[in-house]
Chain A
């Protein structure tokens, strides 16, 4: 009896010692800042940047009455609506192709994954150049004259294309991991029943890796809702498409760090948090209809 208590005591002692650095760090760097951001969203920085005064729901009233915020929310959602489904479907198809024993499998995988190890700042610069309406590669190779990133109607789609291009390799790797779990005899049985490749994909692959698809969807939507780097790098303030591409995180950056309206910036980021939480909860509820766990 006495030995177990000694062991328990020592586990308690060392357990807390071991987690102490991480927990202290999380409390100082994340938990406190989160509470502080929420607090600031109810405050206004006083005159001359000194002190902050409580203004109740004023920031929220202003944010929800601000057409720029609504436009940014809509831009962000539009970006996500294009980026997520396309990147998921393309990645899934590529994963199915690469799941076969084919020559050059790992070479293709390495190439598709490449954009994941490059700074988005560099990616945005090269795409800005590719999209250049006068001297860009795309317009000159295909002999078209499209204002990819300065046409307000088109710009958000052009940005989403870069998003898709950047992330398909990543999604594909996750799908490949999911496909490893699917037993091969399912496909043999289906082939005997005369199911073609497309039918196999819809009726066998998709249901069997639905937990992976669900995971990718949830994390990709969260990621897409936080889009910032691409837009910050590609859209100058004198770009006519600027208002139609500004995302919520961009707006947060602009208010908090360019215009030093931290209370307003904090409010925008709390709104973003709420939107992401709502989207995630909807997916968690919706998953019961289509995600099959073993």
Chain B
């Protein structure tokens, strides 16, 4: 008897929280297909659109050129993942498995970077990007993410967990250090690389301040920063705003639902950087 009551309370709490998490997304979805007058009506209050305004979708895509925004965002994400995974697995391996003079000082710098709030880097980073004439370009968006201190830390952890004998065996077989890294060790840290890739992608996709600063141009910017622009311009046109928000988050949500285990691992290891 006591067990059923506490079970009931438990499910009640979990369901209430779930509803709270889902309702904003549901409301975004429902509003996206309404007319403006339906959103401005309180008596009766409209929950579900009477006629689903499917053309809101094409209107918004055309008005903000979402194809372009997606291309920019994906371009930035792909390049950032490539750079971060490549540089971080090299340095992660060196920090975990090789002994050399100066290693501890250099790793100290990596840890130090992770502890500093990112805003402190932004003004000089922006000045560099504008001196290199990279504003309003994909490389400008990628710029601060070319290397990753967090990725180095994450990959170092992964390399440290691999057994020592593997390397010994490779060495006895005549592998030099780059070969050992490429053919023996790096393939074994694939799951850490995936976690870093996901973290990098979600971080870049969510970031707002950097794209607003370096890519103010509508055609060169990312989804997040375009939403900020629309937010200022559309004011009370909530169906369009919600449609834009919906278009920019649905693909990520679908990816998340498919790869949820990897997503949760990748983001949870980040230590609050997101």
Q: Do A and B bind each other?
A: yes
Bitwise, A108-125 to B at CB < 8 A (1) or not (0) is 111111111111111111
A22, A117, A129, A223, most chain B CB atoms within 10 A = A22
Residue in A8, A14, A141, A197 whose Cβ sees the most chain B Cβ within 10 Å: A14
Q: Point out the residues of chain B lying under 8 angstroms from A93, CB to CB.
A: 13
Q: Is the CB of B95 within 8 A of A253?
A: no
Contact A126 B208, beta carbon cutoff 8 Å: no
How many chain B residues touch the partner (CB < 8 A)?
Answer: 96
Contact of B94 among A15, A32, A135, A269 (CB under 8 A): A15
Chain B residues closer than 8 Å to A115, beta-carbon distance: 21
B47-98 contacts to A, CB under 8 A, are: 86-88, 90-91, 93-95, 98
Distance from A248 Cβ to chain B, minimum over Cβ atoms (Å): 9
Q: Is B274 an interface residue (CB 8 A)?
A: yes
Q: Which residues of A contact B28 (CB under 8 A)?
A: 122, 125-126, 129
- State whether A226 touches B91 (Cβ < 8 A): no
Contact A233-B231, Cβ < 8 Å, known A119-B208, A273-B120 = yes
The reply to whether A170 and B249 contact each other, CB–CB distance below 8 Å, is no
Structural contact, A102 and B10, CB atoms closer than 8 A: yes
Report the number of A-B residue pairs with Cβ-Cβ less than 8 Å: 272
A37 to B123, Cβ gap below 8 A? yes
What is the interface residue range for chain A against chain B?
A: 35 or more
Mask, A221-244, CB within 8 Å of B = 1, is 011011011001100100000000
Give A218 to B248 CA distance when docked, in angstroms. 31
Known contacts A118-B252, A121-B208, A125-B227: does B87 contact A21 (CB below 8 Å)? yes
- Report if A12-B101 is in contact (Cβ < 8 Å); known contacts: A117-B256, A170-B268: yes
Query: What is the minimal beta-carbon distance from B272 to any residue of chain A, in angstroms?
Result: 3
* B169: interface (CB < 8 Å): no
Q: Are B100 and A12 in contact (CB under 8 A)?
A: yes
Q: Quick one: which of B149, B178, B248 contacts A119, CB cutoff 8 A?
A: B248
Cβ of B131 within 8 Å of any chain A Cβ, yes or no, is: no
Closest to A30 in B: B113
The answer on a CB contact under 8 Å between B42 and A8 is: no
Report whether B99 and A33 are in contact in the complex, using a CB–CB cutoff of 8 Å: no
Q: Which residues of B contact A195 (CB under 8 A)?
A: none
The A-contacting residues of B in range 227-245, CB under 8 angstroms, are 227-228, 231-232, 238, 241-242, 244-245
Q: Which residues of B contact A177 (CB under 8 A)?
A: 268
Indicate whether B166 reaches chain A with its CB closer than 8 angstroms. no
By a CB distance below 8 angstroms, the chain B residues around A116 are 202, 267, 274
Q: Residues of B with Cβ closer than 8 Å to A? A: 6, 10-11, 13-14, 17-18, 20-25, 27-28, 31, 39-42, 45, 86-88, 90-91, 93-95, 98-103, 106, 109-110, 113, 116-126, 128, 143-144, 146-149, 152, 176-178, 181, 202, 205-206, 208-209, 212-213, 223-225, 227-228, 231-232, 238, 241-242, 244-245, 248-249, 252-253, 255-257, 260, 263-264, 267-268, 271-272, 274
Top-10 shortest CB links A-B: A219-B272, A25-B147, A15-B100, A33-B124, A18-B94, A22-B91, A122-B245, A15-B98, A33-B121, A14-B177
